[in-house]
Structures are given as C-alpha cells and as structure tokens.
Amino acid sequence: MSDQQALPRPVVTGLGAFTPLGRGAADLFEAVCHSKSGLRKPPAGHLLDGTVGSAGIAPEISARDVLPPSEGRLVDRYVLMAMAAADDALADAGIEVGRDVDPHRVAVVVSSGAGGLTTYEEQTQARAERGPTAVSPYLLPGMLPNMAAARIAIKHGARGWSSAIATACSAGAHAVAEAARLIRYGEADVVICGGAEAPLNPTSALAFSHARALASGWDDPEQASRPFDRRRNGFVLAEGAGVLVVERAEHADARGAAGYADLLGWGATTDAYRPTAPRPDGEGAAYAMRRALATAGLAPSDIGYVNAHGTATKLGDIAETKAVHAVFGDHAPAVSSTKSMTGHLLGGSGAVEAAICAMALTRGALPPTHNLDEVGPGCELDHIRGEARQQRVEAVISNSFAFGGHNVSLLLGTASTRKKQ
C-alpha cells in the first residue's frame, strides 16, 4: 500500500450554501446548471442602492434564525450566513456533534476575507454621529473574521481545532484545503469548513469600483458578470456563504454515511508579484494546480472539469487561461465559471464553488458559464455554455485566486464511500 493510500481519506459528506441563488446547496446546483442568474439591481433602501447597477444579494436572515435571543446582539451578516450554511451542511451529513462524533475530534475552519466590514462601518458612523458612548461592546465579537468559526463551534459543541484564514478571495478554498490536511494527518474525524462574506456596503463597493474591478454599464444586471467573454469588464460584488462537512472516510463508513466526493488533493502558492494583479503568465496559478495533482497522485489527463476562478476581469481571465493551458496542454478539460451566476462572493466563493464541484461529481452534470456570448482573445478553452454538460467525470479542480497573489486549487474525486444520491 502506498503512503497516499495509507493516509486517512477526506470525504465530503455534507453541503450547505447561502447565496444570491437562495439557501440550499441542491437548489444552488440546479440553478447554475440551468444558467439561472442570482444577480439583480439593488432595490430601493438597500445599502448599495444607487452605488452599483448589479449585485449578488442573498436572502434575508436574522440572528433569531440561527442564534438564541440572548446571543444575537450585533452579529454581522457574514456570521449569520455562515451559521445557516453550517446548520444545513451538518443536517445534510446527518451529524450531531457528541452523538455521532467525539466533540474533541471535530474541527471548524470557516474563513472570511474581511469579516464584518458593514457592522464596523455602521459603528464608526454611530460614533461620529452620537459620540464615543454609541460604540457597542458587542462590536468585536460581532464582526471579527474568526467569529463565524467561533460561533459555529459554540453552537454545535465542536471542541477541536478552530480557525479562520483571511486570504481575501481564496479564504474559503484555503479553509477546505486546511480541512483536508486536518483529516489527512489525523487531527480530526470531522471538519466543518468553508467561507462567508458580506461585502455589500458602499465603502467596499466604491473601493472596488474606483480600482476599476467592478462590472459597469450594463442595463440588465443579469448580464453584468461574463467571465471569459469578449465584452467582460469586471466582476459583480456578491455576498454569501458555503460550508462543507469533510469527514474521515472510515468514520463516514462506520456510521453508514454517504459522500459527495473525496478531497484528493490541494495546492497553494503565492504569486509574489503585485498586491492586486495576477502574474500575467499565470505561473502561480499553474503551480497551484500542479501541486493539487501531485498531492492527489493524478495526471492532468485524469481531470474532466475545472471550475475556474473566472471573475470576468480583463487580466485575471487571461492569466487563468494561460495557467490551464500550461498545466493541461492537449488534455484540455471542460471549463466554466459559476461566478457568472452567483457573482463574486470574495472569501465565500471558494467554498461555494467546491460545493458545486462536489455535486457535479455526484450528479454527472457540469455547470456552464452564463453570458459567454463570444470568447475573448486569449481566453480560448473548452468552455461550457448554455445549459449544463451532461458528463460523468472522475476528478475535478476548483480554482481560487486572490488579492495578494494567494492561489488555491482544490482537487475533488468520486467519493470512495457510499455515494450520495
């Protein structure tokens, strides 16, 4: 038996999603397979009304939906969405901490790129308007980037490793990779992992807009996010959360649980280039994919689908295209970017897209890129367009790349446990 085979296998047994396409991972997957967009013009009264023409706005949620009344004071929206997704993922996995697994063997790694920026901004405004006494003592436990992980651990009684990784748009993917490492190296039997972001406030939107990162000039908000398309001109800011339950496969087998996918490999690199621009040659992204393949012990020809980072920025899409060509050469897998329908959830994107990849393996369907009317120069790949491509594949890669040059590639394969239906 090889070293790879001897190590514990991480398997995804539960999924939760809270996105502009609604609450629930199954509904999310159904929507993206049919090119349904969750993007819209911010309605009157929304914080972004009049600031941007298109945004990915998730459903309403209140503290009482996920927390007891005594604990719901001033909890940021990113925490609430993460908690809802975690509740759903644990229910989907059929796990109750303490009943089905030792609490000390349950880890929580739920990340955010920036934490509760909206709550911080509101409290800063309150101080400016009403003075120092207006600042709430609940501000920090309500908005710090680690608080989604902390609240989830507290609610469900998880007493093992708990952390949050703040790597901007790669934060959710980094959390999933960390979960795989914790399982692989015997530090946990179950890991609740993922990412969440609630960046829909004027300051965040204006910062991205002034950096010329946001899509603009689209009369129809559903057309604004168009990765790899010739007319792309930026991403659509979105909010949401994705949470996966990753479990030691032997533990899942022992309790009769079914899996969506095995987490076979991961790769993480740093461009060491510029704070807000990717390496033009895509070398950092390519090396992340190669590391994921090496960790999984697979060849490029084994990969049937890549869920691209694909934000619809001019430079980013071309750099990722070069990276895919560099890694796969003549063994080109199918490619799509589901951000065309969800928008860019920043620190939540990687986990949401990993969940989509897990379901693609289970359902035998590969979601398309919406709004890809004409492939832009330098973006030539085997793009999936229109409806989902009905194709069973054995292994897929999900890419996440971030400001700061943080690159993460997750490699998922067919579940080695009993399969989810």
Share of the chain above pLDDT 70, in %: 99
CATH number at residue 160: 3.40.47.10
Q: Which tokens go with 65?
A: 């939906």
Residue 269 belongs to a domain: yes
Catalytic residue among 33, 169, 193, 357: 169
Catalytic residue among 174, 251, 309, 406: 309
pLDDT above 90: residue 5: no
Note if 344 is an active site residue.
Answer: yes
Q: What angle do CA 243, 362, 160 make, to 5 degrees?
A: 30
Q: Mean pLDDT over all residues of the chain?
A: 96
Residue 368 belongs to a domain: yes
Torsion, Cα of 374, 239, 200, 110 (10° steps): -130
Look up the domain containing 98 and give its range.
3-416
Residue 382 belongs to a domain: yes
pLDDT above 60: residue 71: yes
203: enclosing H helix or E strand? helix 202-210
Residue 421 belongs to a domain: no
Catalytic residue among 156, 174, 251, 344: 344
Mean pLDDT of 276-291: 95
* 401-418 pLDDT tens trace: 999 999 999 999 999 998
Measured distance CA(369)–CA(204) in Å, rounded? 26
Query: How many domains does the chain contain in total?
Result: 1
Note if 309 is an active site residue.
Answer: yes
pTM, two decimals, is 0.96
Residue 13 belongs to a domain: yes
